[in-house]
C-alpha cells in the first residue's frame, strides 16, 4: 500500500467513549496514514482540540462529561477551534439537520464502513496542492 503523503501530515482527533470503537477508528486511520489522537470524553476532546489543533475531529454524540452537542458548541465558539471541521458520528439516523445547524461539517450513522469514513474525512480536507 502506498501512503498518501498528504494524509501523513493530517491529524485526526477521534472523540469516542467506547474503547473498542475508538481503537478501531484510531488503528484504521493510523494504518491509512493519518496521525491520530484520541479522547474518551467530551472534556478530554475539547482539551485535545485546543492543544493539538487537529485538521478534522470525529465526534461521537453520546459522551460522558459533555455530550457531543455541547462539545460542538464549545469548539465552534472558540477562535482556536472554530474552523476545524467536525464529523459527527452517532447511532441515530435522523440528526443530520441538527448536526448541520450546530456547525458540524458532516454526519455519519453507525455502523460505519471504513471506506465511508475515509471518504468523509478526505472530503473535509483542502485539495492537495
Highest mean pLDDT among 5-9, 64-68, 78-82: 78-82
Sheet strand arrangement including 86-90: 35-39, 11-15, 56-60, 86-90, 106-109
DSSP states along 85-108: -EEEEES-SS-HHHHHHHT-SEEE
Q: Which residue has the higher pLDDT, 129 or 65?
A: 65
Q: Domains, the chain, ranges and CATH? A: 5-123 (3.40.50.2300)
Mean pLDDT of 77-105: 92
The pTM of the full predicted model, rounded to 2 decimals, is 0.91
Count CB atoms within 10 A of the CB of residue 122.
14
Amino acid at each position: 500500500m502506498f501512503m498518501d503523503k498528504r494524509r501523513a501530515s493530517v491529524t485526526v482527533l477521534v472523540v469516542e467513549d467506547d474503547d473498542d470503537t475508538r481503537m478501531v477508528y484510531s488503528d484504521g486511520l493510523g494504518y491509512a496514514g493519518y496521525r491520530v489522537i484520541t479522547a474518551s470524553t467530551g472534556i478530554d476532546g475539547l482539551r485535545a482540540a485546543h492543544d493539538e489543533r487537529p485538521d478534522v475531529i470525529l465526534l461521537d454524540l453520546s459522551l460522558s462529561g459533555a455530550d457531543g452537542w455541547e462539545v460542538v458548541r464549545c469548539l465552534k465558539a472558540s477562535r482556536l477551534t472554530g474552523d476545524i471541521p467536525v464529523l459527527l458520528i452517532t447511532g441515530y439516523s435522523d440528526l443530520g439537520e441538527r448536526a448541520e445547524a450546530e456547525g458540524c461539517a458532516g454526519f455519519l450513522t453507525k455502523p460505519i464502513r471504513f471506506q465511508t469514513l475515509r471518504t468523509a474525512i478526505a472530503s473535509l480536507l483542502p485539495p492537495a496542492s
